[in-house]
């Protein structure tokens, strides 16, 4: 499948100084709740993410939580099978005025406390995508120009299909796209400006179907080139990987 990349079992290169993750002192969430989800095969997952000092995720695995805590894609979290067994809902709130730079360390500490997480970082060679300029050059308008997407919600042309819109640099856009293709995306555009963007694409399940739909937006690769003026090219590179040495299947009580 085009978008399903598996981590190659290459020899890992440990960091020069080994230090388990999650052991350093860091600020803690003011309120934090982690509860098991009853849905074994959820119809919809709310990917964990930080917004205005809060963390919210629904029907997520511990692999997804660890990935969020260390800023990598789930494919770059390696460890026991229990990382994908069981789903949870999480809601956490940081104290007022907590800087964004503290949020990930706070989640790391929370996972250490509630799931007894022990992990370390490794460098591994992995399949990646490089984000580069398309043949015709960037098509995104520079912020604060409008993104060119639908002006009203519920536009029938995009109904039922994933959409991404906002303002980001290409480096930030690469991080966002890594979630879509479930593989690291490395920005090699050389661009530094902030852009307004709108991206509509077919879901991964539809892209990999033997009988793709005759209507709707294109696959993510075509959409990135046609709508953004960029392109995703497959390659290999050394990337940071989170190696989980230990994690409990269930969290301790709230």
pTM score over 0.75: no
Q: What percent of the chain has pLDDT over 70?
A: 79
User: What pLDDT score does 47 carry?
Assistant: 81
* Cβ-proximal residues to 17 (8 Å cutoff; 6+ apart), any chain: none
Q: How many helices (H) and strands (E) does the chain have?
A: 5, 11
How many angstroms separate the most distant Cα atoms in the chain?
55
> pLDDT per residue over 7-43, tens digit each?
333 333 333 233 445 444 567 999 999 999 886 666 6
User: What pLDDT score does 154 carry?
Assistant: 63
CB atoms within 10 A of CB 214: 5
pLDDT grade for 91, boundaries at 50, 70 and 90: very high
């Amino acid at each position: 499948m085009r978008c399903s990349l598996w981590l190659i079992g290459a020899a890992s290169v440990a960091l020069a100084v080994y230090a388990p993750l999650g052991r350093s002192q860091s600020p803690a969430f003011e309120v934090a709740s982690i509860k098991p989800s009853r849905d074994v095969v959820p119809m919809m997952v709310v990917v964990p993410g930080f917004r205005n000092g809060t963390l919210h995720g629904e029907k997520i695995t511990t692999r997804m939580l660890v990935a969020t805590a260390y800023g990598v894609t789930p494919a770059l979290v390696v460890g026991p099978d229990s990382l994908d067994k069981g789903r949870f809902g999480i809601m956490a709130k940081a104290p007022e005025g907590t800087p964004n730079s503290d949020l990930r360390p706070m989640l790391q500490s929370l996972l250490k406390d509630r799931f007894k997480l022990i992990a370390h970082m490794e460098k591994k060679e992995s399949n990646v995508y490089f984000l580069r300029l398309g043949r015709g050059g960037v098509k995104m308008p520079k912020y604060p120009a409008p993104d060119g997407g639908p002006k009203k919600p519920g536009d029938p042309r995009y109904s039922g299909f994933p959409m991404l819109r906002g303002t980001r640099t290409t480096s930030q856009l690469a991080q966002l796209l890594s979630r879509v293709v479930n593989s690291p995306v490395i920005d090699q555009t050389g661009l530094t400006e902030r852009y307004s963007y709108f991206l509509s694409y077919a879901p991964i399940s539809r892209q990999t179907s033997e009988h793709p739909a005759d209507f709707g937006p294109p696959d993510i690769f075509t959409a990135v080139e046609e709508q953004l003026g960029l392109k995703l090219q497959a390659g290999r590179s050394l990337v940071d990987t989170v190696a989980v040495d230990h994690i409990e299947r269930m969290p301790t009580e709230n």
